[in-house]
Structure 1
Amino acid sequence: MDRVRTDEAHRRRGLGDFVMRTLADSAVADGAVLGVLGATAAGRALYETLGWKKHATPAECVYRP
């Protein structure tokens, strides 16, 4: 999943929680033991309520030769 967002009219209804828990549960059922994701500040707030922990601050890099 990449660049997922909830439309303003549908925020604060638990949709992000539902989607992330469903994806995580499915991954664990398939044998996953580690999850890695990148998040915006807004997304990070949601992920932390779901038990995700910050490990590092990602950097955005572009290379144009």
Structure 2
Amino acid sequence: MVAAPDGSLSARGQIAPTGGTTVVDQVETAPEHRRKGLGGLVMRTLQNAAVRQGARTGVLAGTSAGRGLYEALGWEVVGLLTSAKQGPSAYARA
């Protein structure tokens, strides 16, 4: 987590190492702190931590808004992700 001077969230992210692979999750930058390099700082920090823990491959499901950042850091798009949601009304019809 990167905190603003007032202690509020500027940027954050987390990893889940699973041996040779790590999953990058919940990378976000607060709107008022975007375009300052914080997303890159978070991603490089996470990548370095993953490598220190033995990861050779990273996996993430990113938004189109984050795609430019990930590609600039050497990540490659290998497939598009489809988001879906199912609410209580769908269960009521079953």
Normalising by structure 2, what TM-score? 0.61
Select the structure that is richer in strand: 2
Post-superposition shift, 1:62? 4.3
Paired residue type of 1:47? Y
What root-mean-square deviation, in Å, do the aligned CA atoms of Structure 1 and Structure 2 show?
A: 1.6
The number of residues matched between the two structures is: 65
Structure-2 residue corresponding to 1:37: 60
Matches within 5 A, 1:1-65: 1=14, 2-62=25-85, 65=91
- Rounded to whole Å, the distance in 1 between the matches of 2:51 and 2:26 is 22
The share of aligned pairs that are identical, in percent, is 48
Show structure 2 runs of 5+ residues with no match: 1-13, 15-24
Select the structure that is richer in helix: 1
Larger Rg: 2
- Rounded to whole Å, the distance in 2 between the matches of 1:22 and 1:7 is 18
Q: RCO greater where, 1 or 2, for CA within 8 Å and sep 6 or more?
A: 1
